[in-house]
Structure 1
């Protein structure tokens, strides 16, 4: 059965995007070579659940072969939570106005793989609704000073699943219910 996983790269000071949603800092991170957790994550993802700011936002790889989720490696169904869908169709993308419908559709599409939640607002909504199963954080060696925090105004008890050291450490948590 599919699970909701919020994965994000976060600055050491707790931000997943700079001021105004700026993601350009991601393109400036040093290439540290293979990363076992990141390299093995995207094949485990069956669907994406994002908010409009993330879907329509700043992709630091725009216009390159690495554009899109997981550096352009992933493709599949995307479900975007928004009250203002675009007038034109976007392939493999469904726009939904409410969280329960978006989560239900994404879980059905993911099969036995993860629904990867992208975007702090949608992840916070999922956490507040008791729907978020896991959180995976990649810690980038950068201080942004301001921007979009990993979570805002949410509390939850977490249980560590795993962690890795290295140039980009990771911490993977299960959300306790």
Structure 2
């Protein structure tokens, strides 16, 4: 059965996006990455937040075509939202978290469902649905933006190291 994975690039100070969700900071750091190259064929579906789906991204404009990872991946995407966008191939808009996770896991088969978006990842974690986390550090300090995980007043989350930068949620 599919596992839910939150895989993301992060600045060394813990931001996955700049102020306002700006992803342009990542563009100079894109390129061959053996971890990403190994991960992409293991992804069977995406679970995406609405802001991430239509956000400011280095590959903005391809979201309606299902082209994640700069066009290196294509397949079913499940966008968690109360504001559906225009229909797009392989994109399903769902308003309930558990329903979205269930549909994404079914579509992924025995591969990963990759979570895109910090808020969706937080919701999955709080609901006990997130299985693994892969944090890909990028050698830059942003100083401000969207944190990879933000839960003010929340309890610590215990993780088990599976391999460098890859963790199982306990």
Q: State if a TM-score over 0.5 links the two structures.
A: yes
The answer on 1:172 being equivalent to 2:145 is: no
TM-score, normalization: structure 2?
A: 0.92
The structure 1 segments of at least 4 consecutive aligned residues displaced by more than 4 Å after TM superposition are: none
Give the secondary structure class of the aligned counterpart of 1:28: helix
Q: What are the Cα deviations for residues 131-177 of structure 1, in whole angstroms up to 9, with x where unaligned? A: 000000100001100000010115310000001xxxxxxx000000x
5+ residue gaps in structure 2? none
Q: Deviations over 1:96-139 (max 9, x none)?
A: 00101100000000000000000000000000000000000100
Give secondary structure in 2 for the equivalent of 1:61. Answer: coil
| 8 Å CA contact retained: 2:54, 2:60 | no
Distance 2:30 2:108 in 1: 32
Match of 1:83 in 2: 82
Structure 1: tracts of 5 or more residues without a match: 164-170
Whether the 8 Å CA contact 1:27–1:61 is kept in 2: the answer is: no
User: How has the CA–CA distance of structure 1 residues 30 and 97 changed in structure 2, closer, same or farther, with 3 Å as cutoff?
Assistant: closer
| Number of positions where the alignment pairs a residue of Structure 1 with one of Structure 2 | 164
CA distance in 2, matches of 1:62, 1:100: 27
CA–CA distance in structure 2, aligned partners of residues 15 and 132 of structure 1: 20
Moved more, 37-46 or 53-62: 53-62
Distance 1:56 1:30, change over 3 A: closer
Per-residue CA shift, 1:62-100, capped at 9, x if unaligned?
A: 469xx94222110000000000112x3111000000101
